[in-house]
Amino acid sequence: MFYNTDLEELIFTQHSDIDSDELIIISGYLGPSPIERLTTLDLPATVVYGMYPSDGIGERLHTTLNSIHNRNESVDILYSSFQVHAKCYIWKKEGEIIHALIGSANFSSNGLRTPFREVLTIANEHTYESLNEYAEMIINRANICTSVDLTNRNQGRRNNRAILQDTTYCRMTLLIPNTGQVHEASGINWGQNPNNHTNPRDASIPIRTTHIREFPTLFPPKLESPTNVIGGREQRENDAIDIVWDDGTTMEGLLEGSQPVDGIKHPKQICSFPNKFIMGDYLRSRMGIASGEFVSTEDLVNYGRTHIDVSIIGEGVYYLDFSVPIQNVDIII
């Protein structure tokens, strides 16, 4: 069988069709959201970040992966000791491979949720012995993520994209620039328009043309992708991303919508997936506002922040900072 759509659901439903007791994932790049989802499966899993030796890892993504690893006894996250760009999904039973998928799809939201861009195919049973030897070689030489010290590992890699992007961010306001007020029925109040068939809890982060021009790698052009209907019109796909917040919260997201910038179509907003209310509930909770309530300009000001800083910390992994600076306080002894 050959697959090029719905790859995420394919990975997360295979265990229900086969009798396995272990899942091994070897991937060039990783996203925290699908790794977090692994913890919902009643199946021990080992995940290997293959391109660590050449690409390194930013401290924020490293911290997030360590947190997932430490919070879940059923998931081990490893960093390969040599470059591995392969993508292998292996299900075992009592140490023997009983099913495997191989192809081009990284274990990340970006790799698994963009239709037609990546593929996976079922490995032939005759390759199981060689595949098992390959996987064991990688795992036996890999390091547990929590044992890796980035202080020395990242030295000499200062031109590495992941590391540089740890400190390169776009400041995205939640207010209308020319009025200094919140949007009445878009942005953080996306769901407040009753005529748009939205949920009052919904929210998104507007992407403006200035953001795109100043940070083109953050907000790349939207790519054409064929529709599922044969002979149908091509459509612009929403890029799937992993979102990591400053407090360690992770969620799946989309670079959604479309707007022309210099004649090229780019995304219009960042939102959560599969529902916009995931981000809406999260932001309101951080501000102490009830779910579904209108967010006012005063709410943001009182919270202490009217913007979100956005950066890339890995392949298809976005870091969003909504933290409030710690204020100086008098300490009474």
Give pLDDT, residue 167.
53
End-to-end CA distance of the chain: 70
Give pLDDT, residue 15.
85
Given a contact cutoff of 8 angstroms between Cβ atoms, the answer to whether 276 and 282 are in contact is: no
Closest CA to 106 of 84, 78, 82, 139: 84
In order along the chain (333 residues), what is the average pLDDT of each group of 10 residues?
A: 94 90 97 95 95 92 96 96 97 96 97 92 97 98 95 51 58 95 95 85 96 92 62 63 96 95 95 96 98 97 97 94 71 35
DSSP of 263-320: TEEE--EEEEES-THHHHHHHHHHHT--TTPPPPHHHHHHHT-SEEEEEEEETTEEEE
The residue type of 99 is H
Please state, in angstroms and as integers, the Cα–Cα distance from residue 210 to each residue in 30, 47, 272, 285, 321, following that order: 30, 38, 22, 29, 19
Give pLDDT, residue 152.
61
Give pLDDT, residue 87.
98
Given a contact cutoff of 8 angstroms between Cβ atoms, the answer to whether 312 and 217 are in contact is: yes
Neighbours of 74 (CB within 10 A): 13
Give pLDDT, residue 57.
92
Give pLDDT, residue 153.
57
Token code pair at residue 141: 């030489």
Given a contact cutoff of 8 angstroms between Cβ atoms, the answer to whether 84 and 8 are in contact is: no
Given a contact cutoff of 8 angstroms between Cβ atoms, the answer to whether 305 and 287 are in contact is: no
Please state, in angstroms and as integers, the Cα–Cα distance from residue 254 to each residue in 130, 194, 204, following that order: 37, 23, 10
Give pLDDT, residue 279.
98
What are the structural domains, with CATH classification, of the chain? 2-157 (3.30.870.10), 165-321 (no CATH)
